[in-house]
Amino acid sequence: MSWHEVSIWAYLWDGAGLLFTKQELWLPLVIGLGAGVVLYFLIIRKSQWFLTFDHELAHAVMALLFFRRIRTFRVTSYAGGLVRHSGGFGGKFGNLMIQLAPYFLPTFTMFAVLALPLISRSWLFHYYIFTGFTVMFHILSTADELALSWHKSSFTSVEGETMQSDIGKAGYIAAFLLITGFTLLFYGLAIHLIIHGYPGIIPFMKAVFLHSWVIYTPLAIYVATWLKGFIAKMF
């Protein structure tokens, strides 16, 4: 685990500690987490269509965040699903983020916490239960997906094409680092949104950035130097 991920983990842990000092927050969230376990194993895990929809939705949402146009969104019950998008902003890094999004982006949780300021105070207890449920759903479904996708074997897609899994295409090391780092980032962001609302976004991201630039600035300089030398050799 990189120091970048350690710094995010520290803020995630601090946020969780603050969360559990507020009974009006942690009690419904814990109820939702428990309900998520029961509903996942009794009902949701049996619905392959919904699991595939959630997987493809994460691809699509991340593609939109990189200003890509969704060209195909297809979900089936037994043959998997497919999202095709345009190229553009983010280049190869954007492609990698879109490719691995289902494993680190808690789509329904982020929708829930972003909508939180719009929820009436009288409904907050029930809404926090729902939010806890979405968290547990993402944790359990991601664990199942990783168990199925952590390989480099080929398979036939819903359109009959031979493809590798998302993990296989990304590579084990890149997949591990990105999934670990961005899972911590998104859950840390979700916790700070629950506690502080939208005003909590900037302080959280600023704190993560300030503790991470020391690691990534030398790395960026190294990569830029290597690219400069590579291009000089080519031309």
Give the tokens for residue 168.
């296989």
What CA–CA distance (Å, rounded) separates 128 from 114? 12
The yes-or-no verdict on residue 124 having pLDDT over 70 is: yes
End-to-end CA distance of the chain: 37
Q: What is the pLDDT of residues 164-173, one digit of tens each?
A: 778 888 888 8
What CA–CA distance (Å, rounded) separates 84 from 210? 35
Q: What is the pLDDT of residues 28-70, one digit of tens each?
A: 999 999 999 999 999 999 999 999 999 999 999 999 998 999 9
- The pLDDT score that the predictor gives to residue 216 is 52
What CA–CA distance (Å, rounded) separates 103 from 170? 12
- The pLDDT score that the predictor gives to residue 90 is 77
The yes-or-no verdict on residue 4 having pLDDT over 50 is: no
Q: pTM of whole model > 0.85?
A: no
Query: How is residue 121 annotated by DSSP?
Result: G
Query: How is residue 74 annotated by DSSP?
Result: E
Phi/psi for 83 (5° steps) reads -125, 125
Q: What is the pLDDT of residues 141-160, one digit of tens each?
A: 999 999 888 877 766 666 66
SS3 at position 78: coil
Domain ranges, ordered by start, for the chain: 3-234
